[in-house]
Structure 1
Amino acid sequence: MEEHEDKYTKDGTTDIHGNPAVKKNTGRWKACPYILANECCERLAYYGMSTNLVNYMKKFLHQGNAQAANNVTNWSGTCYITPLLGAFVADAYFGRYWTISSFMIIYIFGLTLLTMTASVKGLKPSCHNDVCDPTSGQTALVFVSLYLIALGTGGIKPCVSSFGADQFDESDESEKKSKSSFFNWFYFSINIGALIASSVLVWVQTNVGWGWGFGIPAVVMAIAVVSFFVGTPLYRHQKPGGSPLTRIAQVVVASCRKIGEKVPADESLLYEVRDKESAIQGSRKLEHTEELKFLDKAAVETQDDKMNSQPNPWRLCTVTQVEELKSVVRSSYMG
């Protein structure tokens, strides 16, 4: 029996087919090179395309300095907003692997389209004596490609580091230590990609041409996609835990419905699942905290709740679910 338990991970991770992940065959450092290579290539592609973007808009889209800077700022802001969408989709529905896979395809499509706007006749603005005169369609195509890239990066950015962390089982002490090392290598990969992009690719764009300057990031991103998919048999997956917005709403509703209930002094009497890590897929149990006591009412187990074998989630929530909302509230007023 012990041998059977040691064969599988204990954190609920599965393989690509949804079966419990076999420790020996999945995860750990054997899966990480593909994830790290993907991140390095993705960051190289992103910074290689974006670092010099203001100059591209000034030269080829015939925009003034202020207009070009404003357009790039708006686009960059979108790149930092879309990860909210990517994280929500991954946590609630698709899981990290399929979210990364889907959004990478959008990303590479955007990069390919951007490369074509800088190199294909008819899509590339016509220039005479170093002055370019783009049509409205050509300008629109550049922005379509840029915002496809912004959408693509939104699905990758919030998921890759967490997906890498999923490859290590925290219940295993040796794997727990390896997880810390993974993050060191993860940020090293980001910086290597950014360094090459900000030096080599900027030089290529300035001295060789923008077709090459955007084409190289597109090819590098294709390498990132291939790298990520090659590692598929080795990955461990956490199942999506459902919509966090729904869980937050359930705590609020359950607290209001039990407004007349008294929170017990003994926190062990508050409701929590006993037979697994957490009721939230891919998450561990959170310790009870004393702040925001009103929300604890959602975890007060009444006689009616005890009579139901399947508690109504809009009447009774786990301590972990309550603490999840508390952490959101705390970060809001602390920020």
Structure 2
Amino acid sequence: MEKAEDKYTKDGTTEMAVNSADGTTEIHGINPAVDIYTKDGTTDIHGNPSVRKDTGNWRACPYILANECCERLAYYGMSSNLENYMKYRLHQGNATAAKNNSDWSGTCYITPLLGAFLADAYLGRYWTIAGFMIIYIFGLTLLTMTASIPGLRPACDQGACNPTNAQGAAFFVALYLIALGTGGIKPCVSSFGADQFDESDESEKKRKSSFFNWFYFSINIGALVASSVLVWIQDNVGWGWGFGIPAVAMAIAVGSFFWGTPLYRHQKPGGSPLTRIAQVVVASFRKSGVKVPADDSLLYEISEKESAIRGSRKLEHTDQFKFLDKAAVRSQDDKIDGPADPWMLCTVTQVEEVKSVVRILPIWATGIIFSAVYSQMNSIFLIQGDTLDPQMGPHFKIPPASLSMVDTISVILCVPIYDRIVVPVARRFTGNERGLTQLTRMGIGLVISIFSMLAAGIVEVVRLRIIARDNLYDSDGYVPLSIFWQAPQYFIVGVAEVFTFIGQLEFYYDQAPDAMRSMLSALSLTTVALGNYLSSLLVTIVTAITTRNGKLGWIPDSTNRAHIDYFFWLLAILSLLNFGAYLFIAKWYAYKRAAADDIELR
């Protein structure tokens, strides 16, 4: 008798033993090979379906986290002290240097929109990151050359530097190459890391939530090294070394990223998301007179298992924003046979994509006030800290800007606590795999940020009482109050970041349509820029109102006669009102739902 031969059915779902002696077959059960591949549509670098055991998951993430840590070290190591370089090496005035630094920083939060568009539409996240990293390292290399090579380096005599126009031009070319390079990295790396976890697998889905915590942790490790070691090197060793080390760090980041290439999972780019949004809007207006049927099964959707949008799952119909549903209603003008005109008829999934974006926008708007609070570490906190006693022992002083390390240390301490203690405990009470829902997590951060403003206001009240007690209104010396009184407000901001900023990373990835994840991540970054702009606008408005009739105002040049505490109270009130609006929006928000019959993408 011949040995039985194991064979599989065509779809791989059942295992059959075929007996050659009598031709009978026995069904032994489910073929374990059915779970070889991921079910979220990801592929390997060659475009083949991702093999679950060989790709993605935490085995791929160390390369991505190391890349992010080194890239952030390079970015903050170069940017933290950039304004001083412009003042002391490029011979720019305070106002000019501040403006140039702000313009460049703003550009770093605008270019991600370009990088995200290319990633989602055409290149995919891997090739976008790879291409823009090369631009980034070219920029850092040129920047290092402008600070170290004679001819490119400004000539200085007894501390006075006189750069030529060509030297200034080379510096700004390098600077804006870096800004362009960040545009392909900022919006894509966190999403690319999350792509390594298959959402259809419950265990991987839990790990994905943890990934965002450790991703933000790696950012702050890089920032801590940059704001301490590299700033000291720039001030005490030289700018050539101060810019050269970030360039080397970026080279390590590039090497780490490419080293993990065989392990990565890749989401397919789905074509221009802006075009798809425009098609839904246009089709809805062109059919404004059409009535939406009560039965949503009558709305247009392709019959195939896959979505019409490449690399995207089908989405279930939702009842919000009914006007947009008109784009998915068949009319007499639509073709019955053949492909539909996308500017006249859109699928339910395409319509739901637009609905997802519209639902996210109010949540996005509430992040602006939070970012305005966060921005105080680089503005009003420094004005307050400049007047406080920086002495730490007999021979060492703490620069006010260095106190931001307390915020970074706060994040580094709180991320493991949140991931290893808070989440498991909360999971027992809520039953939610994440411990807390994304909206709950962000809301807690908004509340915590209010206390950071209250803490800053209390420090300011104490400072002003000491000034009044000792009659220090016209003194140029330090107020006899240790700068470490500011530590709690920095620490509380860090705790708020762990809840809100990391919650936003996860929220925008999870709730964005599959083919728009980079774009939504880039959109979330704009809240940081808008928060800075809002803070500047508030200062301008407050100054204009409070200096009427010859009054000094809340934030005069003479800080000892200021009332910065009033500005902190104002931000606390705005944050409270913002939280109230957030509660209303969060209650209204409907989480995105993938179609039940479209679990697997191929």
TM-score by length of 2: 0.54
Match of 1:89 among 118, 121, 131: 118
Query: CA–CA distance in 2 between the matches of 1:296 and 1:59?
Result: 59
Letter in 2 for 1:26: T
Query: CA–CA distance in 2 between the matches of 1:26 and 1:64?
Result: 52
Q: Does 1:173 align with 2:198?
A: no
Letter in 2 for 1:175: E
Query: CA–CA distance in 2 between the matches of 1:274 and 1:160?
Result: 34
- List alignment gaps of at least 5 residues for structure 1: none
How far the C-alpha of 1:252 sits from its partner, in A, is 1.9
Query: CA–CA distance in 2 between the matches of 1:23 and 1:130?
Result: 60
Letter in 2 for 1:10: K
Q: Does 1:271 align with 2:271?
A: no
Aligned twin of 2:73: 44
Aligned twin of 2:143: 114
For 1:104-183, list aligned pairs within 5 A: 104-183=133-212
How far the C-alpha of 1:155 sits from its partner, in A, is 0.4
* Deviations 1:293-320, CA, capped at 9 Å, x for gaps: 2210111134675732433322221222
Instruction: Answer whether contact 1:277 1:284 (CA < 8 A) is retained.
Output: yes
Query: CA–CA distance in 2 between the matches of 1:246 and 1:137?
Result: 41
Query: CA–CA distance in 1 between the matches of 2:173 and 2:70?
Result: 22
Match of 1:259 among 288, 292, 301: 288
Q: CA, structure 1 residues 174+332, in 2 after alignment: closer, same or farther (shift >3 Å)?
A: closer
Query: CA–CA distance in 2 between the matches of 1:276 and 1:125?
Result: 63
Query: CA–CA distance in 2 between the matches of 1:273 and 1:47?
Result: 48
Q: CA, structure 1 residues 331+169, in 2 after alignment: closer, same or farther (shift >3 Å)?
A: closer
Of 50-59 and 314-323, deviating more is: 314-323
Query: CA–CA distance in 1 between the matches of 2:257 and 2:239?
Result: 27
* Deviations 1:100-159, CA, capped at 9 Å, x for gaps: 000000000000000000000100000000100000110111111000000000100000
Query: CA–CA distance in 2 between the matches of 1:277 and 1:234?
Result: 25
Q: Does 1:288 align with 2:317?
A: yes
Match of 2:58 among 20, 25, 29: 29
Instruction: Answer whether contact 1:31 1:167 (CA < 8 A) is retained.
Output: yes
Instruction: Answer whether contact 1:258 1:297 (CA < 8 A) is retained.
Output: yes
How far the C-alpha of 1:279 sits from its partner, in A, is 2.8
Instruction: Answer whether contact 1:11 1:277 (CA < 8 A) is retained.
Output: no
How far the C-alpha of 1:254 sits from its partner, in A, is 1.9
Query: CA–CA distance in 2 between the matches of 1:204 and 1:190?
Result: 20
* Deviations 1:147-191, CA, capped at 9 Å, x for gaps: 000000010000001101111110011111110111111011001
Aligned twin of 1:242: 271
Q: Does 1:317 align with 2:346?
A: yes
Query: CA–CA distance in 2 between the matches of 1:317 and 1:215?
Result: 52
Query: CA–CA distance in 1 between the matches of 2:288 and 2:34?
Result: 43
How far the C-alpha of 1:331 sits from its partner, in A, is 4.6
Q: Does 1:204 align with 2:233?
A: yes
Of 178-187 and 282-291, deviating more is: 282-291
How far the C-alpha of 1:236 sits from its partner, in A, is 0.5
- List alignment gaps of at least 5 residues for structure 2: 1-11, 14-31, 366-602
Letter in 1 for 2:73: L
Aligned twin of 2:132: 103
How far the C-alpha of 1:322 sits from its partner, in A, is 1.2
Query: CA–CA distance in 1 between the matches of 2:100 and 2:162?
Result: 18
Query: CA–CA distance in 1 between the matches of 2:315 and 2:158?
Result: 65
How far the C-alpha of 1:60 sits from its partner, in A, is 0.4
Query: CA–CA distance in 2 between the matches of 1:297 and 1:326?
Result: 13
Instruction: Answer whether contact 1:37 1:189 (CA < 8 A) is retained.
Output: yes
Query: CA–CA distance in 2 between the matches of 1:245 and 1:150?
Result: 23
Query: CA–CA distance in 2 between the matches of 1:52 and 1:276?
Result: 54
Q: Does 1:16 align with 2:45?
A: yes
How far the C-alpha of 1:282 sits from its partner, in A, is 3.5
How far the C-alpha of 1:330 sits from its partner, in A, is 4.4
Of 107-116 and 258-267, deviating more is: 258-267
CA RMSD of aligned residues (A): 1.7
Query: CA–CA distance in 2 between the matches of 1:278 and 1:188?
Result: 36
Match of 2:242 among 194, 199, 213: 213
- Larger radius of gyration, structure 1 or 2? 2
- Size of the alignment, in residue pairs? 335
Instruction: Answer whether contact 1:238 1:281 (CA < 8 A) is retained.
Output: no
Q: CA, structure 1 residues 214+8, in 2 after alignment: closer, same or farther (shift >3 Å)?
A: same
Q: CA, structure 1 residues 274+44, in 2 after alignment: closer, same or farther (shift >3 Å)?
A: farther
Letter in 2 for 1:159: C
Q: CA, structure 1 residues 276+32, in 2 after alignment: closer, same or farther (shift >3 Å)?
A: farther
Query: CA–CA distance in 2 between the matches of 1:159 and 1:310?
Result: 33
Query: CA–CA distance in 2 between the matches of 1:25 and 1:40?
Result: 24
Query: CA–CA distance in 1 between the matches of 2:42 and 2:320?
Result: 32
Query: CA–CA distance in 2 between the matches of 1:145 and 1:331?
Result: 35
Query: CA–CA distance in 2 between the matches of 1:220 and 1:51?
Result: 15
Letter in 1 for 2:174: S
Match of 1:299 among 316, 325, 328: 328
Query: CA–CA distance in 2 between the matches of 1:247 and 1:126?
Result: 53
How far the C-alpha of 1:24 sits from its partner, in A, is 1.2
Query: CA–CA distance in 1 between the matches of 2:77 and 2:345?
Result: 50
How far the C-alpha of 1:19 sits from its partner, in A, is 0.8
Moved beyond 4 Å, runs of 4+: 302-306, 330-334
Aligned twin of 1:75: 104
Letter in 2 for 1:200: V
Of 179-188 and 247-256, deviating more is: 247-256
Q: Does 1:7 align with 2:36?
A: yes
How far the C-alpha of 1:206 sits from its partner, in A, is 0.7
